[in-house]
Amino acid sequence: MWLGPHHRFESCAIGNCNHALRNLDLENEHRLPSNPILLRCLVVVVLWIAGERVNAQQTVPKSTNLFVLDEIVVRADETAPLIDTRLIQSRTLLDAADLQLKIAPSLGDTLMWEPGITSSSFGPGSSRPVIRGFSGDRVRMLSDGVGTGDISQTSPDHAVTAESLLSEEIEVLRGPSTLEFGGSAIGGVVNVKSKSIPRRPPAKWYEGLSSLRWESASRERTGVTALTLGNENQAFQFNVLRSISQDYDIPGKARLNPSDPTTNPEGTLPNTWTDRLTASGGASKFWEKGRVGASITRIESEYGVPFHADAHSHIGPGLTQEVNGVSVDLEQLRFNGEFVLHNPIRAIDEFEVRGIWSEYQHAESESASVLDNDFSNTETETKLDLTHARFRGFSGRMGGTWRTIDFGSRGPEVNTPDTITENIAGYVIENLELGPLKLQAGGRFETQIIDVNFANVRQERLTYDSQSLSAGLELQLWDGFEFTANWSRARRPPNSAELFSNGPHLAAGTFDIGAWYRIPFLKPNEGGIDLERSENYEFSVRKTKGRLTGSVTYFNYNFDNYIFVTGIGPGWDFNGLPIFRYIQTRAKFEGAELRLDYDLLPASTNTSLTYHFSADSVRATDLNADTAIPRFPPVRIGNRLEYGHGPWKLGTEVRHSFAQNRLQRNLETPTKSYTMLNADLTHTRKWRNRELSLFLKGNNLLNSDARNHVSVAKDVAPLPGRSVGVGATLSF
């Protein structure tokens, strides 16, 4: 493969494998022994024990205990979070009351204005959370404590299949102490606690909810029904969601500086429609010291992708394709299981096993005249956790994970070969309490094996072994004040997209080349890629008592081998698509998060007036090139005044995102600041065993032209304009 300035690729896709392999310098393969069977046997034994325990004991389970320090709690909830990490770390929790107003079609948009969290803003069908400037494979997405089984980490147009509209709560963990969840959780963990598996007996033989929502900017219509049947020994769960929306309204024109001004949409952003159906059912058995449960979920989702490169010849030399819109047709069948024992023996407080099996596929269509690009992903994951009893001041948690991913792709414009990835990991975390001081240390070892199949012409195996460490402390300064400090040394193995991409990436309008390939005459020209290595610090001060509460957190991530995709430079393109390449560099992410809550009125049983303030900032630098890492978030501030009186609650908020002028040199455009004014009104009425909650909300009431700098599509896809939403939820 010959590359030089102002030269073009004529054919380079991996689909033309014979030609491509002649021009690639393949790395030496590293081998490991065959797949272990120990974890398989353990799962069988655990399920057998579960059956014996179910038959032996039949009473109500006791709740688990949560011990989370340095947490940012959006709203308190009586139930313990599913991820009982017992780590010294930052945590955000959104319960059902929060989600009623903040819920959005995508998980990223739902969490977008939480401190330190924004969204990839790639349309309502596929936007993903971005935490502290980290996205993709540095933010682990979980559903009920294990992976979601989708491929959202590989591209911004791929949706997260954890359904926020069918969740009990959403929890976000971030900071150095997320090592329990692996290298792909360096930025943070987002766990959606679904309604699919009953985790407690129903208060009566039936309970549930029904919800309807409508929103004006996209004409969204959503209906949700959840029903639980059972008694103190067993429960059955049934859920269904149906949601349809149209292309959403925007304040002005869609594109900034379009090549063809006559094709610049105005007033509505094309191809931002969604259509999804989710149905799930589950069952659980309860006894005195535990529970066992399982669920099945079926997801069918179609949505438009709001960005595509202008008409170009990415099919081949001289074959220009007019693009009228890109859509994704997604299907997933997912099985989840949980087994929890409380105090099975004297030395163990809790023993947990969670697992998932997922069959996922989606097709990307550009027009009727072009074949679909098909992607498939079969994934299994088993996670085992054990919390041991306190002994002479020590308490701790240990566990392991076994995960396999079978990824495949077919079509004229796919850019990644078929791969099978196996990840095996174990971790241990120990705490020591010394009066007002708590110390913590942890470690994780991880092995990842990637088998890649180059169109049945050549196979390769890559093996990555990594070890991560963490340490932290929490000090009770005085009554109501806490100080925490965390340090970690984290290692992340690269994923298959970062290694083996070799073709058009139409969601981003680029031609991507993985770091595994060698490109002659272009530095760095060696093939292959090393582990991503980072050393991370986090310091927090939290006030938990009094009329003024809140927390402030400073974080610092230093990478030796940060993996990211960057443009080769002007004049390098493949049939009209600029060439981007995955490389490694020294990088630094530094920032802060602030949240304050002040009760303006004395404590009252009927009336409250509270002011909420939040702010976040991150600065990401490519130390080798002395320039910015692309698409890191600008400084943001939020103000909210909330008045409550009896069953009524009124809120108004002003959110401001500052301009982003610190850019990756020659490869990014600046983003202007914007301000959003929002308001909401809720009314809750209770009678007998029922509760009716009504809401009215307005978003972006100033109709601001808002563009999220984090998004790869921000120059062609602004955020929605003025919108009014109404909804009702009946709980029974």
Given a cut of 50, whether residue 69 has pLDDT beyond it is no
Residue of 477 and 30 predicted with greater confidence? 477
Question: What is the chain's Cα-based Rg?
Answer: 25
Q: How far apart are CA 543 and CA 654, in angstroms?
A: 24
Instruction: Compute the distance between CA of residue 624 and CA of residue 622 in angstroms, rounded to an integer.
Output: 6
Find the mean pLDDT for residues 674-692. 95
Residue 455 has pLDDT above 60, yes or no: yes
Q: What is the pLDDT of residue 323?
A: 53
Say if residue 13's pLDDT is above 90: no
| Residue 514 neighbours by CB under 8 Å, 6+ apart | 416, 497, 498, 499, 500, 501, 502, 582
> In whole numbers, what is the pLDDT of the chain averaged over residues?
84
Residue 686's contacts (CB-CB under 8 Å, 6 or more residues apart) are 692
Query: What pLDDT shows up at residue 370?
Result: 61
Whether 1 shows a pLDDT value over 60: the answer reads: no
Residue 555 corresponds to which amino acid?
A: F
CA distance 636 to 653: 13
For residue 531, the model assigns a pLDDT of 92
For the ranges 152-166, 240-254, 332-346, 396-410, which has the lowest average pLDDT?
152-166
- For residue 172, pLDDT over 60 is answered with yes
CA distances (Å), origin 107, targets 110, 190, 356, 614, 708: 5, 9, 20, 20, 16
Range with the poorest average pLDDT among 60-74, 194-208, 584-598, 647-661: 60-74
Q: Is residue 717 a contact partner of residue 711, using CB atoms and an 8 Å limit? A: yes
Q: With bands split at pLDDT 50, 70 and 90, how would you rate the model's confidence at 719?
A: very high
Both tokens of 420, joined, read 């099978």
Q: Which strands form 146-147's sheet, in the order they lie side by side?
A: 72-73, 90-94, 167-174, 188-194, 139-143, 146-147
* Of 74-83, 170-179, 182-191, 227-236, minimum mean pLDDT range: 74-83
pLDDT at 454 over 80: yes
- pLDDT category of residue 324 using cuts at 50, 70 and 90: low
For the CA atoms of 88, 94, 96, 102, what is the dihedral angle to 10 degrees?
Answer: 180
Flag whether pLDDT at 147 surpasses 50.
yes
Q: Which helix (H) or strand (E) holds 528?
A: none
Percent of the chain with pLDDT over 90: 65
User: Among residues 407, 412, 275, which one has the least CA distance to residue 330?
Assistant: 275
Instruction: Map residue 153 onto helix, strand or coil.
Output: helix
Residues 6 or more apart in contact with residue 262 via CB below 8 angstroms: none
What local confidence, expressed as pLDDT, does residue 368 receive? 53
Work out the pLDDT band at 665, boundaries 50, 70, 90.
confident
Contact 631, 660 (CB under 8 A): no
Burial 442-458 (b: 16+ CB within 10 A, else e): bbbebbbbbbbebeeee
- Return the SS3 of 21: helix
Vertex 47 angle, CA 42 and 51, to 5°: 145
Is residue 492 scored above 90 in pLDDT?
yes
Regarding beta strands 607-622 and 627-628, do their DSSP bridges make them parallel or antiparallel, or are they unpaired? antiparallel
Q: Which residue, 705, 666, 669, is CA-closest to 257?
A: 669
Rounded CA separation 349/286 (Å)? 17
CA distance 505 to 707: 22
Q: Please check the confidence at residue 421 and state whether its pLDDT lies above 80.
A: yes
pLDDT at 204 over 60: yes
pLDDT of residue 87: 60
Q: Residue 309 pLDDT > 60, yes or no?
A: no
Interacting residues of 445 by C-beta distance below 8 A, sequence separation 6+: 425, 426, 427, 465, 466, 467
Tell the burial category of 183 from Cβ atoms under 10 Å away from its Cβ (0-12, 13-18, 19+): buried
Q: Are 468 and 491 in contact (CB under 8 A)?
A: yes
- Exposed (0-12), middle (13-18) or buried (19+): which is 570, by Cβ within 10 Å? exposed
What's the pLDDT at 620? 97
Report in angstroms the alpha-carbon separations of 335 from 360, 467, 471, 492: 12, 30, 35, 27
What's the pLDDT band for 88 if we cut at 50, 70, 90? confident
Contact predicate 138/186, CB 8 Å: yes
Name the pLDDT band for 308 (thresholds 50, 70, 90). Answer: low
Q: What span, in angstroms and rounded, lies between the C-alpha atoms of 154 and 137?
A: 7
Give the residue from 197, 5, 185, 183 showing the smallest Cα distance to 82.
197
Q: Is the pLDDT of residue 377 over 70?
A: yes
Residues 6+ apart with CB under 8 A from 355: 43, 146, 336, 337, 380, 381, 382, 383
pLDDT tens for residues 222-269? 999 999 999 999 999 999 999 999 999 999 999 988 877 777 899 999
Residue 96's pLDDT band, with cuts at 50, 70 and 90, is confident
Q: Say if residue 29's pLDDT is above 80.
A: no
Q: Which of 642, 726, 725, 704 is nearest to 74 (CA)?
A: 642
> For the chain, how far is it from start to end, CA to CA, in angstroms?
66
383: pLDDT strictly greater than 80 = yes
Beta bridge partners of 431: 395, 440
Average pLDDT over residues 127-135: 95
Whether the predicted pLDDT of 2 surpasses 60: no
Q: Tell me, what's the pLDDT at 356? A: 98
Task: Name the token pair of 328.
Answer: 């994704």
Beta-bridge mates of residue 599: 610
- The whole-angstrom separation of Cα 690 and Cα 676 is 35
Looking at the DSSP assignment, which residues form a beta bridge with residue 579?
511
pLDDT at 63 over 50: no
Specify the range with the lowest mean pLDDT, choosing from 23-32, 155-164, 214-223.
23-32
Could you read off the pLDDT of 512-549 as tens digits, one per residue?
899 888 777 666 555 668 899 999 999 999 999 999 99
Strands (E), 148-289: 167-174, 188-194, 206-215, 220-230, 234-245, 249-253, 266-268, 274-287
Structural domains in the chain, sorted by start: 8-731 (2.40.170.20)
The answer on pLDDT for 7 being more than 50 is: no
